[in-house]
Amino acid sequence: MNKKFDVVIVGTGAAGLFCALSLPQDKKILCISKDALDGSDSFLAQGGICMLRDDNDYASYFEDTMRAGHYENRKESVEIMIKSSQQIIHDLEGYGVEFEKENGEFVFTKEGAHSDNRILFHADVTGREITGKLLARAQERENITLMDYTTMVDWVCKDNVCYGIVVADEDGKTEAIEADVTVLACGGLGGVYKHSTNYRHISGDALALALYHNVRLENCDYVQIHPTTLYTKQSGRSFLISESVRGEGAVLRDKNGERFTDELQPRDVVSNAIFAKMKEQGTEHVWLDFSPIPKEEILSHFPNIYKHCTEAGFNPLETWVPVVPAQHYFMGGIYVDKDSKTTMEQLYAIGETSCNGVHGRNRLASNSLLESLVFAKRAAADIMTVSEYKKAADFDNLVNLEDYADLHGIMEKYHAMVVQEIKEEARLRSLKEEAI
């Protein structure tokens, strides 16, 4: 393969693909995926994507996002995201993405902690619709090379400038790829958790490399637990039951059939209420009651959820569904500014890998896809403002590929580094909060 590109993007989820598509077609771009090209968490997003409905919606949308984030959000980033949302939706429709409409007008739904209906959706597979269409458009571009089952093992950098990455193929063969710009869009860290809605291979590798190369991280202990995943005793990725199910009326019940919380509070609040009820009653799950939702709406709006629950032995039209909280999303990550630049030159981070401050301590439902796309597009725009990037005079001498012979050991070390960083940040934050 060609070992020199203008831009290398690590990840083929919504953020990585949108960034690639937002760059000029005269740029040679490489997008790599650790798994299959569609093996990103973006494909799993069910609920939808937020959009500012009109100017009258701005204040409440801003407040909803800030309140969910416990007012620890970066206000500038929140403002950028909300004010960019209508253009992003326009861009997506230009790429062929379809959202639910009636008489030619968008249909908006509502999810937990939103004060109004402002979420666009495509049945209950919005992430698949968006990311699948972006992948199709990227595959049509002659300037974009897509490589699956290719793992980022290290960055090629010197004096705090990134000149590319080291990758390994399925057989463990490593090689160094030179690039003017490297964009990290490799997702969160669910793979280091026992119970997670994330793909197992998405395990925070970029965070470990940031630690190793002294790139600033932020809020690595801010890990979101989703309140409702399908309870099962089987191991593997937990199946998420979208927040929009509760937004449309489903309620939570304890083992006695009693409703015990307001289901439309922020995710951390609902998750804590479920954990408390499970502890109080000595149970391994609670129940989600779909019955307040009309049957026709369950079948039309949530066909994938209906199918998956039914296959697991729980028909939502006839019975309650057992649910339990599980790790779902990462609000922290590699620190970036409003243009997605990290503290290392020629290195950007977007999507769940990054922390631009939009989400604060806790993410508002359906802000993830929007935030990823807004700041992916800003990264692309910022990349194009630089007329000439720094080149490594001795690129081949910056890497010794023999150092990566023990790939399994290296990846295990990365995972341990990430887990340790989460624990350490949580410990330090706890001490700080106790002192206040």
| Residue 267 annotated to the active site | yes
Give the span between the Cα atoms of 399 and 154, in whole angstroms: 10
Give the span between the Cα atoms of 358 and 376, in whole angstroms: 14
* Residue 124: other Cβ atoms inside 10 A: 26
Give the span between the Cα atoms of 104 and 153, in whole angstroms: 47
User: What is the DSSP code string of 15-38?
Assistant: HHHHHHHHS-TTS-EEEE-SS-TT
Please say whether the beta carbons of 52 and 58 come within 8 A. Answer: yes
Among the options 246, 267, 361, 363, which is catalytic? Answer: 267
Please say whether the beta carbons of 247 and 362 come within 8 A. Answer: no
Assign residue 410 a region (left: φ > 0; alpha: ψ between -120 and 50; beta: otherwise): alpha
Pick the closest to residue 61 from 45, 46, 76, 83 (CA basis): 83
Buried b (16+ CB within 10 A) or exposed e, 287-318: bbbbeebeeeebeebbeebbebbeeeebebee
Q: Which is it for the CA torsion 77, 79, 81, 83, positive or negative?
A: negative
| CA distances to 73, 165, 259, 373, 411 from 251, in Å | 29, 47, 7, 31, 41
Pick the closest to residue 334 from 175, 179, 124, 188 (CA basis): 188
Token pair, residue 89, equals 């939706």
Please say whether the beta carbons of 225 and 349 come within 8 A. Answer: no
Query: How close are the terminal C-alpha atoms of the chain, in Å?
Result: 56
Give the span between the Cα atoms of 276 and 8, in whole angstroms: 45
8-state DSSP, 353: G
Residues 6+ apart with CB under 8 A from 222: 330, 331, 332, 359, 360, 361, 362
Token pair, residue 352, equals 């769940």
Which 3 state secondary structure label does DSSP give 323? strand
What residues are annotated to the active site? 267
